[in-house]
Each structure stands twice: as C-alpha cells, then as structure tokens.
Amino acid sequence: MAILPIDTGRYGSVEMRRIFDEESRLQKILDVEAAVAYAHSQVGNIAKDAAEEVIRKANTRHVKVERCKEIDKEIDHDLMAVVRALSEVCSPSAARWVHFGLTSADVEDTAYALQFKEALGLVESGLIDLERILYGLVEKYRETMMAGRTHGQHMAVITLGLKLAVWMREISRQIQRLRQTRERVLVGKIMGAVGTGAGLGEHAIEIQRIALERLGLKPADMVTQVIQRDIHAELLSTLSLIGCSLEKFALEVRNLQRTEIMEIMEPFKFERQVGSSAMPSKRNPVKSERVCSLARLMRGLLIPAYENIALWHERDLTNSANERFTFAMAFILLDEMILDMKSILSGLLVFPENMEKNLEITGGLLVSENIVRVMVERGVARQEAHEIVRRCSMRAVRERKHFSEVLCQDPDVSSVIKPGEVNELLDYSRYLGVAQKLIDNALALSRAELETYQLSIQDKESRGR
C-alpha cells in the first residue's frame, strides 16, 4: 500500500524512481558483493570458480526481494538477510565466501554510491536541457523590454532576455558544482569493520582497488566503518542548492504571472486544465508553486544530513534510518523540480504588450537616473543633481503628472537640459546600457558549453556501440 506521494509515482520520473526502488537497491548491493568476490579471486583468496558462481548468482533473478524480507523479519538485519539469501542460491563451496572480510557498511555505502552515480547522471542531463531551453529563450527575447524591479518596485529598464540570461548562467554554475561534487561523492569503501582492512587480509588495499574499479568508483579517502558523512552532506547540499535556483526561477514566474502584472505565465492547457475548483476562470501557476514547495522540503533534508556527520567513535546507526529517506527523497524531489521547470520554460507564455504597458506605470520615473547622469556630465555636482531629480520625482508622484512634464517645468533642470531633450533622455530603449553585450557574452559561454556537452554525449554513445 502506497503511503507517501513518491510511492504513488506523483513526483519524479520513472527513471529516477527506478534507481531508488527496492529491486534496484538490492541489485546494487549484490553488485558490490559480486565485485568483492571477484577481487578476492584476483588476489588468490578465493578460487576463481567459486567467485564466478557468486558473481553469476548475485542478481535479482536468483536473489528475490521477497526472500530477503522474509529473512530480515526473522533475524532483524536487512543486509545480513541479503547475504543469507545470496548464500542460499550458491553451492556450499561458493556460499562460504559470500561477504568474506566485509562489514555491512562496506556494501551499503558502496551501493549508495552506485545509486548516486546513476541519479547524478539524470540530474545533470536535466540541467543541461534547462540551459539549452534558456539559451533559446534568451535569443528570442533579448530585446524585449520590461521593468527591472528591486524591493518589488520599478527600478530601471531591462530586457526579458537579460533576466533569462542570468538564469541560464546560474544553471551553468550548478552543472559545474554538480560535477565537482560528483568527484568527491562517487566513492566506495571496502575496508571492513573499522576501516583497517584486517578482515580482508594482507591484500586489502588491492581488493578494494579491484572491486571499486569493477564498479566504476574510486576509494573513499579515509574511512572508519563507514564512508565519512561530510561527503553525503555535501551531496545533499549541492542538490538543495540546485533546488534553490529552481525555486528562484519559479518564484519569479509566479510574481510576473500576477493578474495585475501578467508579463509572463507558465503554460496552461486551455482546452482541459482546471485552475480552481471554485473559480472556473483561474489560471494558477501550479507548477511554479510546486517547485517552490518541494524546494522547502529539500532544504529540510539538510538537517539530518549535517547531523549525520558526527557519529559515535568509528560509527553508530543514527544515520542509517534517516538516510533511507533523505537520499532517495532528495533526488526524486529535485528530479520533479527539474521536470516542472523544463515544462514551464519550454512552454513559457510571454506578453510583451503588458511589459510595454507596465513600463509606463511610473510615467518615465524608471529612467530618472539618466537625468542625473546628464546633469552631472554638464557640470552639476552629483549629489545636487540627485536631489533636484529626487524632488522632481516626488512632485510627479504627488501631483500625478508625467515625469517629463515636471522636469520641463523645473528651473534647475531646465538650466542644464533643454525641454526638447527630455523625452529623448526618457526613452527606455536608449537606457539599456551594455545589456546586449552582456547577453552576447552569456550566450557565447553557454553555446560553448552546450557544444561540449553534446560532443561528450556523442563520445559516450560511440564508445557504447
């Protein structure tokens, strides 16, 4: 019976959920057992035919989830239940070597790394898709003017392309962070009870090297009975940080979708989608709100991850139970957020006419800085110019007049700027600074990255063939 929404398939892709389901977890545990048996055979600890049988039987065709649960119910030790279930399907000569020299954490922590390896690949692929989608949007809306806002107030003029270019480069940084984190996270540990390798014998270091190479992992730096939990805390921190960026984007979509603003809007299936059970006309930003909601939950997973760093002596079990939730939840929640954000951005509705209308709300005040700039260039002290323009701005608001009208009537302004120049200085399109150059730079960086990603994908595909 499903209890959590993750169990029902509501959140995350089929691919991501499959990585963390019971069968996949069991298979990765068996993969570790098989790799260690192989390593033992390579250094001469185990006969090759015995190792080959363990390897052959270490899969979920022979070792069933249901049988492991039956044994676990009897002995109250889930990893030992897998060891016994694998031993049952092997001949006595092979079964005697199952789990030889290992402790539970060797297998469990290394199996987690195998899950992380697959899951991080999906996350990175999703982020690359996001950068690619944003690249197209930046190109499309690079010149679409809109109000820039600070403190929730109109501040100056930007373009939608510039706003989206900021997001695009943030996703690029998240991809780099993810790759750097992967280097420290994709590590295994085959060093026995307290990290000395005593149970593995004199070839312990070689056994660990061979087994982990077979699994596509590196040895963890220094270990006790467990891989040190700062590594896992970093992983969840990185995933949560990516979630924070996605929340930032979603929050902006939500704000700009407000009825009184309505400059952009997340896609809405006009034919069938229901916005509200009460108001048939509603078009709620439900996907953007879901991203924000899940980001909050993800950040909550950081607390146990940080607290798991400080275990008693060489280890205790206070990390174990919560990690059964946190690792899977963090990846599945982030996967859902990436899927939602891809959907939002790939179908983003943009209303340039509303952007143009909203630019006029303040009657020219958006570019008051330009008046200050010109006055300073023509000899007025900067602070004096600022005060003159501030006074004019407040009068325009108080008397509900267009800024240009007040400026033309002010003698301090008129003595420096001719009335005929005012409208030209208040032209929004002439006060975008170097926005287009900044956009060009951002596009060039992302274009090079996307080309590199594509070449990497093609290389992997060719090596796979």
Residues 6+ away with beta carbon under 8 Å from 453: 128
Q: What is the DSSP string of 150-211?
A: ETTEEEEEEEHHHHHHHHHHHHHHHHHHHHHHHHHHSEE----TTSS-GGG-TTHHHHHHHH
Nearest in space to 239 (alpha carbons), one of 281, 301, 283, 191: 301
Residue with the two structure tokens 């709100």: 289
pLDDT digits (tens, 9 = 90+) for 81-122: 999 999 999 999 999 999 999 999 999 999 999 999 999 999
Crossing angle for the helix pair 22-42 and 65-75, nearest 10 degrees? Answer: 80
pLDDT digits (tens, 9 = 90+) for 17-46: 999 999 999 999 999 999 999 999 999 999
pLDDT digits (tens, 9 = 90+) for 121-130: 999 999 999 9
Whether 276 is a known active-site residue: answer yes
Out of 151, 277, 281, 313, pick the active-site residue. Answer: 151
Fold of the CATH domain 365-425: Ribonucleotide Reductase Protein R1; domain 1 (1.10.40)
Tell whether the model's pLDDT for residue 275 goes beyond 70.
no
Percent of the chain past pLDDT 90, that is, above it, reads 91
Residue 281: band (very low, low, confident or very high) from pLDDT cuts 50, 70, 90: low
Model pLDDT, residue 279? 61
pLDDT digits (tens, 9 = 90+) for 241-250: 999 999 999 9
Model pLDDT, residue 196? 97
- How far, in Å, are 22, 157, 161, 253, 370 from residue 150 at the CA level? 48, 11, 18, 16, 17
Q: Given this structure, which CATH class describes domain 19-100?
A: mainly alpha
Model pLDDT, residue 2? 81
Tell whether the model's pLDDT for residue 229 goes beyond 80.
yes
- Residue-averaged pLDDT of the chain: 94
CATH number, domain 102-266+283-357:
1.20.200.10
Tell whether the model's pLDDT for residue 174 goes beyond 60.
yes
Tell whether the model's pLDDT for residue 208 goes beyond 80.
yes
pLDDT digits (tens, 9 = 90+) for 401-437: 999 999 999 999 999 999 889 999 999 999 999 999 9
The domain segmentation of the chain, as residue ranges, is: 19-100, 102-266+283-357, 365-425
Out of 91, 93, 276, 415, pick the active-site residue. Answer: 276
Say which DSSP state 366 is in. Answer: G
Residue 7: band (very low, low, confident or very high) from pLDDT cuts 50, 70, 90: confident
Q: Quick one: average pLDDT of 353-360?
A: 96
Say which DSSP state 320 is in. Answer: H
